[in-house]
Amino acid sequence: MQWFERDFDHPLYFEIYKDKDAEAAVEGPGLAALLALPPGSRVLDLPCGWGRLRPALEAQGYEVVGGDLSPLNLARHAAEHPGALARLDLRALPFRSGCADGVFCAYTSWGYFPTDAENQRQLAEFARVLRPGGVLLLDLAGRGFFLRALATLDGDWYEVEGQYRERVRLSQDGRRFLTDRIMGDQRFQHDIWIPTDAEARAALAAAGLEVEEAFGSWQGAPWNPWAERWIYRAVKQ
């Protein structure tokens, strides 16, 4: 089993990420507005997790379909934010080509796969399901910001809110961020490729997605190398 199949589908995931529900009140409206599509647009929320950002997408008047791999997330989503949902793998979407006006990919949900080919496949699938002129909003962790943060942490373990222990390291090739967490008797490890700006843009271009704008915050601040979020608004050619 790969890390992303287990880590996100564990009940403790909701404990570790419990602050993300409150953050959604700011994050959701900001990101949903950056997608900048007209009301009535069909938007795929991929991956949707437990649906914390869906209300903000619906508030823009979008017709939302969510998709995720984790049964646990999908069950919570159905209970808390009922609506169209699909269980899916980001590498092979169960949607018709050209069916969507927008794809909304929030909170560092790209770079999970171990190979470049699989990560590229995810973008190719996003491009395939978008109609020409459709928009992908890709919200990534800003590599510069997190490299700086990592330099001060130096791979040490630290306690998070008295709840769990965490350490973050770079992979040997320097491309991936490895986050270990220990909560109770459970151990988790996220292993995520956090691309440079040039790598992200090259991958989007290779998928036929042209970056029209890049932002450095959920509120739409201009992109900068040290921004915590790197958010790309890319249009299907």
Ligand X SMILES: C[S@@+](CC[C@H](N)C(=O)[O-])C[C@H]1O[C@@H](n2cnc3c(N)ncnc32)[C@H](O)[C@@H]1O
The site for ligand X (CB under 6 A) is made up of 4, 8, 47-49, 52-53, 68-70, 73, 88-90, 106-109, 112
Complex with ligand X: residue 70 or 217, whichever CB lies closer: 70
Written as six digits, the tokens of 103 are 């794809």
Q: Are 50 and 80 in contact (CB under 8 A)?
A: yes
Does residue 230 contact residue 214 with C-beta atoms inside 8 Å? yes
CB of 191 to ligand X, least distance (A): 11
Q: Which residue is closest to ligand X by CB? A: 49
Q: Least distance in Å: CB of 234 to ligand X?
A: 17
Residue closer to ligand X, measured from CB, 59 or 237 = 59
Rounded to a whole number of angstroms, the minimum distance from the CB of residue 45 to ligand X is: 7
DSSP 161: T
CB 169 to ligand X: min, Å? 19
Nearer to ligand X, 35 or 53 (CB): 53
CB of 152 to ligand X, least distance (A): 23
Beta pairing partners, 65: 44, 84
Gap between the Cα atoms of 118 and 99, Å rounded: 22
Q: Is the dihedral of CA 27, 192, 227, 146 positive or negative?
A: positive
Which CB, 88 or 135, lies closer to ligand X?
88
Residue 11 or 133 with smaller CB distance to ligand X: 11
